Structure 1
Amino acid sequence: MKEHTAIAQMSIADRPRERLLSVGVRRLKDAEVLAVIIGSGIPGCSSIELAARILRRTSGTAGLAEANVEQLLAIDGVGPALAMRIVAGCELSRRAAHRAKG
């Protein structure tokens, strides 16, 4: 089992929010972007670890974009509020992409 590393234990330069500010959102890994959206982890699992778990269970960003609340709730560490926040963020992104095309 992988050792847990809390965000507070990471160097400031490696923390997702700080990396977003220093290098820009486009240079972040998918798990880091999702970790910023998640905001915080759960006991024993940082936001980056939880984000990676979600991405694994949804088969990456394409699967995440298609996931519904019920599917996300089946993932350990994902509660209703987080599932709804992720689904809403994906929908907002889908709408922006659709409007950019049209």
Structure 2
Amino acid sequence: MTYCLRVADIPTSERPRERLMAHGAKILATAELIAILLGTGQGPGKLSAIGLGQYILHELAKCDRDPLAVLRDVTPAELMQIPGIGPAKATTILAAIELGKRAFQSRPLDRTPIDSPVAAAAALSQDLMWQNQERFAVLLLDVKNCLLGTQVITIGTATETLAPPREIFREVIRHGATRVIVAHNHPSGNVEPSQADIDLTRKLLAAAQFLDIPLLDHLILGDGNHQSLREITALWDDYPQGD
């Protein structure tokens, strides 16, 4: 491994904790961030904490996926199969991952104006962003685009979900919303719309016109990213919503 020496043998200014304190966490390599969580090293060849962090990433990459993507859903048992990782280190890593998810997924307060795809994605991220199954949800808004609440309409498989327009607008009407944004996730992380996504959006826009409940957008979320169909398609020109 690249880092076989002890962290104590690294010049003070180059140690992960000191670099984080001086320059912030963003400049640290992923292995260095893991090293801070681990505190100590060992594993194959008595690696340093940084070396063990690198070794963990190397082991996670064996499944031909981004190791960070694997790390998001890793289990304690899977981590503890890596030499040098026991219950204490595994639970520390998993606690940090969960804390990061919760910080990213924090919702805006109710009645917050939803005035952009970014704001809409943030409001829905807890329900959709990191899920392993496709989910379809709605953002319920008032006449000023302020958030009334969110609602997951359906939960599908790892690759598809069904979202009948009838079910969607039933929830919108039941909650007294006057405007709506719909969204679903792609567990693969690819947020480009499929033809089925386009076709469903077309049906929803037509229904929204008929019910006089403007559909403001259809978002696709996944793997920390989002895509606004309103921004990348001409569907809203074909079905004006009066918003």
Report the TM-score, using the length of structure 1 for normalisation. 0.89
Partner SS, residue 67 of structure 1: coil
Partner SS, residue 106 of structure 2: helix
- Let me know the Cα RMSD of the aligned residues: 1.7
Higher RCO (C-alpha under 8 Å, 6+ residues apart): 1
CA distance in 2, matches of 1:3, 1:63: 23
Note closer, same or farther for the CA distance 1:86–1:97 as it changes in structure 2 (3 Å cut): same
Q: Could you tell me which residue of structure 2 aligns to residue 64 of structure 1?
A: 71
Counterparts of 1:9-88 in structure 2 under 5 Å? 9-42=9-42, 44-59=46-61, 60-88=67-95
> Comparing both structures, which one devotes a greater share of its residues to strand?
2
CA distance in 2, matches of 1:3, 1:85: 21
Percent sequence identity over aligned pairs? 34
Q: Could you tell me which residue of structure 1 aligns to residue 225 of structure 2?
A: none
Give, in angstroms, the shift of residue 87 of structure 1.
1.1
> Comparing both structures, which one devotes a greater share of its residues to helix?
1
Larger Rg: 2
Residues 24-57 of structure 1 show CA distances to partners (whole Å, capped at 9, x for unaligned) of 1111111111111111112721110011111111
CA distance in 2, matches of 1:38, 1:24: 18
CA distance in 2, matches of 1:3, 1:98: 34
Report the TM-score, using the length of structure 2 for normalisation. 0.40
Note closer, same or farther for the CA distance 1:3–1:37 as it changes in structure 2 (3 Å cut): closer
Count of residues paired in the alignment: 102
CA distance in 1, matches of 2:69, 2:17: 23
Contact map agreement 2:7 2:15 (CA 8 A) in 1? yes
Partner SS, residue 82 of structure 2: coil
